[in-house]
């Protein structure tokens, strides 16, 4: 057996080991914590020991022998094999840490248990015993860890001897000394905990962030994801941690390439305005969304050649009726009810009074919120006028108007603040392998029959694989809550109902929370209705409780433009409905009856899920879209808040639960244009969908 030359971090019990020093008591710990180059020396007898550990593969040597060791870890269990070329012994060891407060260890007839009774890894108690033919206590130890300073003491029962030690870490260096004259020196490949770190500024580049989460290889089953480009949740979660990090003096945001929707801006902005951290926003140019975000920062800076532009705050719809008339295409659609405007681009040349009313309301609420928030942090006179005439405001004028604080080139700015990349430090915490989970599921895109991932624009659809994933989560007893991040304008009525039905079953066994992103309307609201609690941002677009259906009759187009004629052979009169000809009055009536049935079902789902009387619901349904603020007032959502608020709510119910991302299976989509998705959605003919074409 290897001699215990020095104590490892904490007491170096057989069950408390981790890192390169594990070789002295239990090599199973080599794959835990960190890798390093190690050197130990005894001042009394001049014995030495040195070696290298790379993530569990170790080679160590003293004056007379060499030890080879291999260790691996998974799910709280670590095991090791060690071979010494002098003793010719092959030894085995293991560690098992089922919870964050206890560890069991075994190596070469030594059995051990270590407890961390409170304050996580700050205080540790260990006891080791030897058993082969007889049982005897071997070692008791106590350790106190103050990050980069460790104090420990051991008592050896056989020798009746106490020993004391101290370890100090400086990021990539560990120095140790013990009362038996052993000293140790390590150069680590990972950064160790250190209270002596200097504060620094962190740079955060903001880009475009999808809401959904796709695995690295779509099509290969359900996986937990941690190696894919960040989605919005991951970005804002990392930002939250940076704002809490005491080592970060301030954060400099680069918004030059930011492409966020207003709902995402709202969530980031709420995070910034509630932080005391020094925050600086820079951009080559600002649009109204990036300026709205920047107004939450303590300081706004722009490039000397840059400008602020408030254009783009509008909605625009495209109408095809006149084109269809000229081509001989007949759009035959029915809808429930008057605010369900997604059919209007095909049946009108401009917006109806109802669509105009709801869209102008959304714009008004959004603008009033932006104005209120911006003026709460900056003193700007005549803001309405600036927003109206602010097509381009150059940097000098922007400073005079108090829209910004300073003007600087990007390289000069980051030289001034001397930003550094965040550093990841080794954690000595033990994970609870049986902890409860909060499942986080992302649902972004139109609702169709398949879950597709477009390799060109990185967009996704919501399909039947969502049902399979929800079934899996419902059967997992370790999952106590499910948070659904929904960003969808709706789509297939059939798929919407399949998913809603599965969420209904899930909500009876788990806490189900919906966090609405930018748009959760029509089918996006349908699948949300059975959640136990719904969160939405003030800027979120939701509602649109309505239905539409129909088709484009194209036979006339092919006759008029290409001189193509058709002859139909059929036994029954209506067998060729939806084949390309115009629908007759009977078929239109049947379509309308089917849509009425679908509308009543939509109302029933929302009435049951939201516990709103059906007659009362009719007054706020009618296919009308609502902005989050208004949706909260009329009871369509419960709480104003973003994804982090939804998670905090779930954690308030399950305080020790861990948030785990679950992704569904996707198939590849190689279409350059979204027309394929639109055609796939419209093949269902009956839709819970709204064409929310907004400036975001």
Could you tell me the two tokens for 451?
């879950």
Bridge partner list, 296: none
What is Dmax (Cα atoms) for the chain? Answer: 105
Which residue bears the tokens 């939450």? Answer: 296
Query: What gap in Å lies between CA 473 and CA 481, rounded to an integer?
Result: 9
Nearest-angstrom CA–CA distance, 409 and 413: 6
Angle at 539 between CA 313 and CA 486, to 5 degrees: 120
Q: Are 67 and 50 in contact (CB under 8 A)?
A: no
Are 316 and 351 within 8 A, CB to CB? no
CA distances from 203 to 41, 151, 196, 330, 476 (A): 43, 36, 22, 55, 40
Q: How many CB atoms lie within 10 A of CB 436?
A: 15
pLDDT in tens, 151-194: 889 999 999 999 888 889 988 999 999 888 889 999 999 999 88
Residues of the chain with pLDDT under 50: 1-11, 220-227, 694-695
Phi, psi of 102 (to 5 degrees): -145, 145
Spatial contact of 550 and 333, defined as CB atoms under 8 Å apart = yes
415: number of CA atoms within 13 Å, CB side? 5
In whole angstroms, give the CA distance from residue 439 to residue 503. 13
pLDDT, one tens digit per residue, over 28-71 is: 999 999 999 999 999 998 999 999 999 999 999 998 999 999 99
pLDDT at 488: 97
- The pLDDT score that the predictor gives to residue 194 is 81
Q: What is the pLDDT of residue 676?
A: 84
User: CA-to-CA distance for 351 and 24, rounded, in angstroms?
Assistant: 78
Q: Residue 217 has what pLDDT?
A: 54
Nearest C-alpha neighbor of 489 from the set 467, 517, 450: 517
**What is the predicted pLDDT for the residue at 258?**
97
Q: How many CA atoms lie within 13 A of 310 on its CB side?
A: 15
What φ, ψ does residue 620 adopt, rounded to 5°?
A: -110, 0
SS3 call for 68: strand
pLDDT digits (tens, 9 = 90+) for 242-258: 999 989 999 999 999 99
- Non-local CB neighbours of 678 within 8 Å, separated by 6+ positions: none
CA angle in degrees (0–180, nearest 5) for 612-341-556:
135
Which string of DSSP letters, residue by residue, matches 509-536? HSEEEEEEEEEEETHHHHTTTTSSEEEE
Burial pattern 367-395, b for ≥16 Cβ within 10 A else e, equals eebbeebbeebbeeeebeebbeebeebeb
Pair of tokens at residue 597: 């049935």
Residue among 677, 530, 555, 540 nearest 605 (CA) = 530
For residues 543 and 619, give the distance between their C-alpha atoms in angstroms, rounded to a whole number.
Answer: 12
Residue 369, φ and ψ in degrees, nearest 5: -70, -45
Q: Helix (H, G, I), strand (E, B), or coil: what is residue 267?
A: helix
- Look up residue 548 and give its two tokens: 């539409």
| Cα separation, 398 vs 408, whole angstroms | 13
Q: For 390-442, what is each residue's pLDDT tens digit?
A: 999 999 999 999 999 999 999 999 999 988 888 888 988 999 999 999 999 99
Contact present, 281 and 203 (Cβ < 8 Å): no
- Residue-level pLDDT at 693: 54
- Compute the radius of gyration of the chain from its Cα atoms: 32
- Look at strands 406-407 and 299-302 and give their pairing: parallel
Tell me the C-alpha to C-alpha distance, in Å, between residue 540 and each of 207, 362, 365, 393, 488. Answer: 20, 9, 11, 29, 11
CB 98 within 8 A of CB 76: yes
Nearest to 606 by CA among 505, 522, 502, 517: 522
What domains appear along the chain, each with residue ranges and CATH number?
20-188 (2.40.160), 200-311+390-417 (3.90.226.10), 437-689 (3.90.226.10)
Q: What stretch of H or E contains 482?
A: strand 479-488
- The whole-number pLDDT of residue 135 equals 92
Residue among 178, 254, 401, 345 at smallest CA distance from 689:
345
Tokens of 647: 């998670």
Task: Work out whether strand 479-488 and strand 511-521 pair parallel, antiparallel, or are unpaired.
Answer: parallel
pLDDT for 228 equals: 63
> What is the pTM (predicted TM-score) of this model?
0.92
The sign of the CA dihedral 320, 323, 325, 327 is negative
DSSP assigned state of 56: T
Cis? peptide before 337, omega within 30° of 0: yes
140 and 157 Cβ atoms separated by less than 8 Å: yes
Using an 8 Å Cβ cutoff, are 652 and 511 in contact?
no
Contact of 619 with 630, CB cutoff 8 Å? no
Is the dihedral angle over the CA atoms 427, 433, 435, 440 positive or is it negative? Answer: positive
Rounded distance between C-alpha atoms, residue 179 and residue 42, angstroms: 11
């Amino acid at each position: 057996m290897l001699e215990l030359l020095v104590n490892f971090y904490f007491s170096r019990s057989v069950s408390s080991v981790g890192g390169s020093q594990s070789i002295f008591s239990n090599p199973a710990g080599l794959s835990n914590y960190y890798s390093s180059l190690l050197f130990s020396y005894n001042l009394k007898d001049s014995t030495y020991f040195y070696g290298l550990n790379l993530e569990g593969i170790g080679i160590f040597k003293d004056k007379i022998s060499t030890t080879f060791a291999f260790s691996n870890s998974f799910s709280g269990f670590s095991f090791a094999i060690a071979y010494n070329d002098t003793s010719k012994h092959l030894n085995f060891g293991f560690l098992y840490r089922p919870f964050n407060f206890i560890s069991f260890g075994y190596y070469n007839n030594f059995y051990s248990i270590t407890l961390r009774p409170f304050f996580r890894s700050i205080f540790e108690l260990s006891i080791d015993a030897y058993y082969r033919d007889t049982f005897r206590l071997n070692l008791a130890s106590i350790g106190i860890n103050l990050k980069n300073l460790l104090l420990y003491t051991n008592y050896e029962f056989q020798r009746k001897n106490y020993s004391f030690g101290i370890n100090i870490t400086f990021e990539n260096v560990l120095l140790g000394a013990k009362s038996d004259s052993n000293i140790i020196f390590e150069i680590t490949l990972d950064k160790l905990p250190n209270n002596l770190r200097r504060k620094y500024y962190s740079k955060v580049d903001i880009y475009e962030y999808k809401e959904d989460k796709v695995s690295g290889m779509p099509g290969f089953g359900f996986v937990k994801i941690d190696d894919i480009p960040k989605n919005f949740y991951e970005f804002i979660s990392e930002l939250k941690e940076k704002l809490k990090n005491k080592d970060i003096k301030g954060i400099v945001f680069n918004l030059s390439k930011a492409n966020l929707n207003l709902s995402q801006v709202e969530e980031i902005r709420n995070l910034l305005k509630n932080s005391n951290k020094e925050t600086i926003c820079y951009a080559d140019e600002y649009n109204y969304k990036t300026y709205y975000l920047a107004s939450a920062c303590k300081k706004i800076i722009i490039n000397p050649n840059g400008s602020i532009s408030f254009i783009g705050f509008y909605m625009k719809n495209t109408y095809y009726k006149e084109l269809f008339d000229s081509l001989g295409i007949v759009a035959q659609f029915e809808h429930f009810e008057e605010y369900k405007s997604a059919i209007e681009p095909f049946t009108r040349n401009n917006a109806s009074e109802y669509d105009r009313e709801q869209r102008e309301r959304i714009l008004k609420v959004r603008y009033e919120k932006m104005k209120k928030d911006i003026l709460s942090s900056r003193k700007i006179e005549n803001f309405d006028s600036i927003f109206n005439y602010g097509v381009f405001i150059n940097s000098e004028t922007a400073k005079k108007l108090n829209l910004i604080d300073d003007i600087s080139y990007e390289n000069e700015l980051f030289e001034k603040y001397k930003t550094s990349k965040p550093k990841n430090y080794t954690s000595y915490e033990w994970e609870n392998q049986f902890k409860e989970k909060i499942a986080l599921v992302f649902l972004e895109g139109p609702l169709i029959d398949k879950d597709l991932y477009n390799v060109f624009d990185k967009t996704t659809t919501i399909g039947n694989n969502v049902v399979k994933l929800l079934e899996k989560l419902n059967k997992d007893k370790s999952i106590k809550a499910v948070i659904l991040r929904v960003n969808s304008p709706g789509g297939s009525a059939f798929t919407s109902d399949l998913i809603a039905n599965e969420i209904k079953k899930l909500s009876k066994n788990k806490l189900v929370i919906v966090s609405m992103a930018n748009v959760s309307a029509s089918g996006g609201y349908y699948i949300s209705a059975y959640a136990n609690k719904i969160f939405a941002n003030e800027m979120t677009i939701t509602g649109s409780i309505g239905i539409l259906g129909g088709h484009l009759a194209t036979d006339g187009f092919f006759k008029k433009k290409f001189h193509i004629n058709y002859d139909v052979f059929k036994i029954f009169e209506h067998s060729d409905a939806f084949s390309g000809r115009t629908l007759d009055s009977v078929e239109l009536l049947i379509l309308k009856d089917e849509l009425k049935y679908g509308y009543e079902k939509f109302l029933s789902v929302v009435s049951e899920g939201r516990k709103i009387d059906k007659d009362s619901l009719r007054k706020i349904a009618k296919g009308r879209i609502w902005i989050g603020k208004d949706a909260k007032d009329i009871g369509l959502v419960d709480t104003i808040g973003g994804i982090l608020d939804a998670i905090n709510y779930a954690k308030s119910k399950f305080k020790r639960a861990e948030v785990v991302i679950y992704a569904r299976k996707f198939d590849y989509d190689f279409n350059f244009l979204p027309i394929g998705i639109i055609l796939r959605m419209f093949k269902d003919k009956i839709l819970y969908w709204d064409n929310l074409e907004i400036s975001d």
